[in-house]
């Protein structure tokens, strides 16, 4: 039996890229299995490295979205924000990015120009520079318009130690704003199922949000809930610390349009992607201060304390508005076609 049989499947599916169980198994049982080395860490958004006496963070990401332009952004601005955000939640100041573009034959130059312009604007607003890159063109039908792959370098703040291993029982869970906006906005932009709406993607740099917490005593961990959404981040935390992540449903901020779309189509908004939100774990005595600091920012005005870390088995428990409880399982099937 080949090593690939350990995945219990013979072929790759879209679910292998959704941020859930299949993606985790693919990374752990194939990529990490063969590429393992002392520096490879599959549990972080950016790896911490020491270079000539300086502490840096290094990350890489790929982007594919349909449609290429959506309310609140484009695949170009999404690539910048996604890379910047992975550095920011790791406690770094984003500085330099690389860009690889895979362009499909037949893509309109006018549309590509709009996408690159939005990318340039996002980079300028995020305070980063694209300093190197590469371009490939593939035959028509082999790419959905354009794909981007980016890598980023940021400067790590001194004496900042964030990680899953820093989380303790009693710590509070915060989210910086409403969840599921990006996934819902992209779906509405496709005008599928006869649905339309005015919802904007939350795609944005989270660096202002992360920066304001870095000097806060009791900051344990930060993550941006992209593929797999809030529920997947919480599941990852529960498994890593072997404790219960307890969420309060009535505290989780949701836009009315997100709630309505999910009710109509049967989606769970807690599994839908965000592209401009932060989940932070903070010591109980510092949680209110963290919340106050976030709410002073335009991107954090809807922030909430949504849960806490409790003793117990490694589960994510959602306490409903009616007082009941349900366990949020790890994401398996792809809830939507690729949206980030």
Report the pLDDT value the prediction gives residue 105, as an integer from 0 to 100.
95
Nearest-angstrom CA–CA distance, 69 and 112: 10
State the chain's mean pLDDT as an integer: 90
Give the three-class secondary structure for 111: helix
CA distances from 106 to 95, 110, 139 (A): 33, 11, 8
Nearest-angstrom CA–CA distance, 54 and 22: 36
Whole-number percent of the chain with pLDDT over 90: 69
Half-sphere exposure at residue 306, Cβ-oriented, CA atoms within 13 angstroms: 29
DSSP per position, 47-75: EEEEETTEEEEEEEEEE-BSSSEETTEEH
Taken in order 281, 285, 289, 295, the sign of the CA dihedral is positive
Q: What is the CATH number of domain 43-156?
A: 3.30.1330.10
Report the pLDDT value the prediction gives residue 5, as an integer from 0 to 100.
45
Nearest-angstrom CA–CA distance, 231 and 59: 23
Nearest to 260 by CA among 302, 197, 178: 197
Nearest-angstrom CA–CA distance, 111 and 335: 28
Nearest-angstrom CA–CA distance, 62 and 143: 13
Report the pLDDT value the prediction gives residue 4, as an integer from 0 to 100.
46
Question: What is the residue whose two structure tokens read 């950016």?
Answer: 46
Let me know the angle formed at the C-alpha of 150 by 160 and 57, rounded to the nearest 5 degrees: 15
Least confident of 19-23, 67-71, 230-234, 316-320: 19-23
- Residue 103 — left, alpha, or beta (φ > 0 → left; ψ -120 to 50 → alpha)? beta
Check: CB of residue 209 under 8 Å from CB of residue 177: no
Q: What is the CATH class of 164-327?
A: alpha beta
Nearest to 304 by CA among 283, 321, 279, 326: 279
Q: Quick one: average pLDDT of 200-228?
A: 95
The secondary structure of 155-192, three-state, reads EECCCCCCCHHHCCCCCEEEECCCCCHHHHHHHHHCCH
Q: What is the pLDDT of residues 273-299, one digit of tens each?
A: 999 999 999 999 999 999 999 999 999
Q: What is the pLDDT of residues 6-41, one digit of tens each?
A: 667 788 887 777 677 788 888 888 888 888 888 877
Report the pLDDT value the prediction gives residue 225, as an integer from 0 to 100.
95
Map out the domains of the chain as residue ranges.
43-156, 164-327
Nearest-angstrom CA–CA distance, 63 and 182: 14
Nearest-angstrom CA–CA distance, 5 and 30: 10
223 preceded by cis ω (within 30°)?
no
Q: What is the pLDDT of residues 220-257, one digit of tens each?
A: 999 999 989 999 999 999 999 999 999 999 999 999 99
């Amino acid at each position: 039996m080949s090593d690939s049989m350990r995945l219990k499947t013979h072929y790759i599916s879209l679910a292998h890229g959704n941020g859930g169980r299949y993606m985790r198994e693919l990374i752990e049982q194939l990529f990490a299995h063969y590429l393992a080395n002392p520096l490879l860490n599959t549990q972080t958004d950016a790896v911490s490295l020491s270079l000539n006496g300086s502490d840096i963070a290094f990350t890489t990401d790929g982007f594919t979205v349909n449609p290429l332009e959506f309310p609140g952004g484009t695949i170009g601005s999404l690539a910048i924000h996604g890379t910047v955000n992975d550095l920011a939640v790791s406690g770094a100041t984003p500085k330099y990015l690389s860009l690889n573009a895979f362009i499909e034959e037949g893509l309109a130059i006018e549309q590509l120009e709009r996408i690159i312009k939005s990318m340039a604007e996002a980079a300028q607003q995020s305070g980063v520079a694209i300093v190197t890159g590469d371009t490939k063109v593939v035959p028509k039908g082999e790419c959905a318009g354009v794909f981007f792959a980016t890598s980023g370098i940021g400067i790590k703040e001194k004496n900042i130690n964030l990680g899953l291993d820093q989380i303790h029982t009693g710590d509070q869970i915060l989210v910086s704003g409403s969840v599921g906006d990006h996934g819902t906005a992209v779906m509405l932009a496709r005008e599928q199922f006869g649905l339309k709406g005015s919802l904007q993607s939350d795609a944005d740099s989270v660096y202002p949000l992360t920066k304001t917490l870095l000097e806060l005593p009791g900051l344990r961990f930060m993550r941006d809930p992209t593929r797999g959404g809030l529920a997947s981040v919480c599941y990852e935390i529960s498994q890593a610390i072997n404790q219960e992540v307890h969420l309060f449903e009535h505290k989780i901020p949701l836009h009315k349009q997100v709630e309505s779309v999910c009710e109509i189509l049967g989606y769970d908004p807690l599994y839908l992607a965000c592209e401009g939100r932060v989940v932070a774990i903070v010591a109980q005595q510092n949680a209110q201060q963290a919340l106050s600091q976030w709410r002073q920012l335009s991107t954090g005005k809807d922030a909430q304390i949504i849960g806490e870390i409790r003793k117990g088995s490694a589960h994510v428990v959602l306490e409903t508005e009616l007082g009941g409880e349900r366990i949020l399982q790890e994401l398996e099937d792809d809830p939507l076609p690729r949206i980030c």
